[in-house]
Amino acid sequence: MRDRGAVIDSAFGGMQRWGIRIVVIAAASVVIGWVIGKTWMVIFPVSMALIVSTLLSPPVTYLRKKGVPSGAAAASVVLGFVGIVVGIIALLTPLVAGQSGEVAKGASDGLQQIRDWMTSGPLALSEGQITRAIEALQTRLESSASAIGSGVFSTIGAATSAIVNLILVLMLTFFFVKDGHRFLPWVKNLGGKRAGEHTVEVLDRAWNTLGGFIRTQSLVALIDAVIIGAGMVILGVPLAIPLAVITFFGAYIPIIGAFVTGALAVLVTLVTNSPKDALIVLIIVVGVQQLEGNVLSPWLQGKSMNLHAAVVLMSVTAGGTLFGVTGAFFAVPVTATVAGVLRYINERIDEEVGAGAPDQDSHGADLPKGG
């Protein structure tokens, strides 16, 4: 029987070891965050190029299997992608940018109507707190009115110009889709049999997870924007197209983006049309969000992409707090990628434990071998 003091000493020793580990992990996280902040002008275009490459690599791979040289396949797909994006931007940017002020004003006026209803309607809530909250939201909307249209199409930081970043992203994307298939074999040969195989498997899973998420989220965002936009067009909402575009890009920030863009659509409809139409838009938005959360995302993403809503919300909040809109955009892809890597690590741990652990009874004692 162990001495009581020895048990207490062992417990404190375990707490000390874990305390040191936590401090080391926290310090390492601070250092990593500092490095990311200092090298963000490099990390950002590389990250954007990787995301675009996940969309373009399947058609490039298809062309390469058909005998098209890698350079020609990559160049044709990248140029085609640029042409499509430029055409969409040329078509929608003047409309969205020109009406961004009306969207912000409509949302602000909608908040004003809600405040009047809440203070003089059947609820008759305290006017002071409601007024302060509404005024804060109105100020934020009006101050960002000019940024709504331009911010839809660009999350480039102020560290460098948008033109330089765009060219760099396109160049990196071309090289990634052209020579990316050679990277994993090179890593495997460089790392050796054991480390190389593990590294290749982790990178391959991370790439598949990231690509699956981006392609799926793009499809989900398109479906959300089309359904909500079509509903507003049928109702005759004057700002239906810019609101649909904002809904599309907002869908890349799960939960928070859907909530904000949906509320924006309802508020604008409340002002431009009528409370009845606003209620219909609200029903459409809620229905689309339920369709996305319960049907589209689980069906399209599958179990490998399954992230709990709380994890998604915390990752978006943390990314937005640390890196603004860009961080909120990257939060879920990064979290999904990390989750895929952790699943692989957990599988390897289970294999090691299953292969190396001795047979034990319920009290931890080794059981005799043989029959």
DSSP letters of 235-284? HT-TTHHHHHHHHHHHTTSTTHHHHHHHHHHHHHHHHHS-HHHHHHHHHH
Residue 60: CB atoms within 10 A of its CB come to 25
pLDDT score recorded for residue 147: 46
pLDDT score recorded for residue 56: 86
**273-284 residue pLDDT tens:** 777 888 888 898
**349-366 residue pLDDT tens:** 888 787 555 554 444 444
CA angle 67, 69, 75 (to 5 degrees): 125
Lowest-confidence segment of 108-122, 225-239, 332-346 by average pLDDT? 108-122
217 in Cβ contact with 251 (< 8 Å)? yes
285 in Cβ contact with 265 (< 8 Å)? yes
Q: Which amino acid is at 38?
A: K
pLDDT score recorded for residue 24: 95
Evaluated on CA atoms 262, 263, 268, 271, the torsion sign reads positive
Q: Mean pLDDT throughout 49-64?
A: 86
Q: Mean pLDDT throughout 41-55?
A: 83
d(CA 68, CA 61) in angstroms, rounded, equals: 9
**92-104 residue pLDDT tens:** 666 665 555 565 6
Q: What are phi and psi of 159, to 5 degrees?
A: -65, -30
Question: Which residue would you say has higher pLDDT here, 231 or 122?
Answer: 231
d(CA 251, CA 257) in angstroms, rounded, equals: 6
Q: What is the pTM of this model?
A: 0.63
Name 366's bridge partners: 360
d(CA 350, CA 25) in angstroms, rounded, equals: 24
d(CA 220, CA 246) in angstroms, rounded, equals: 14
Q: Mean pLDDT throughout 236-248?
A: 81
Q: Tell me the average pLDDT of the chain.
A: 74
Q: What percent of the chain has pLDDT over 90?
A: 4
Longest alpha-carbon distance in the chain: 83
Q: Dihedral through CA 261, CA 267, CA 273, CA 275, nearest 10?
A: 120
d(CA 147, CA 323) in angstroms, rounded, equals: 17
Cα distance between the two ends of the chain: 33
Q: Mean pLDDT throughout 320-324?
A: 75
d(CA 96, CA 100) in angstroms, rounded, equals: 6
239 in Cβ contact with 96 (< 8 Å)? no
What residues have CB less than 8 Å from 102, skipping those under 6 apart? 238, 239
d(CA 203, CA 211) in angstroms, rounded, equals: 12
User: In which residue are the tokens 């936009």 written?
Assistant: 229
Q: What percent of the chain has pLDDT over 70?
A: 70
d(CA 236, CA 229) in angstroms, rounded, equals: 10
pLDDT score recorded for residue 355: 55
246 in Cβ contact with 253 (< 8 Å)? no
Asked if the model's pLDDT at residue 245 lies above 70, the reply is: yes
Residue 26 pLDDT grade (very low, low, confident, very high; cuts 50, 70, 90) = very high
244 in Cβ contact with 237 (< 8 Å)? no
Q: What is the DSSP letter of 357?
A: P
Q: How far is CA 255 from CA 246, 258, 289, 293, 309, in A?
A: 15, 5, 9, 9, 8
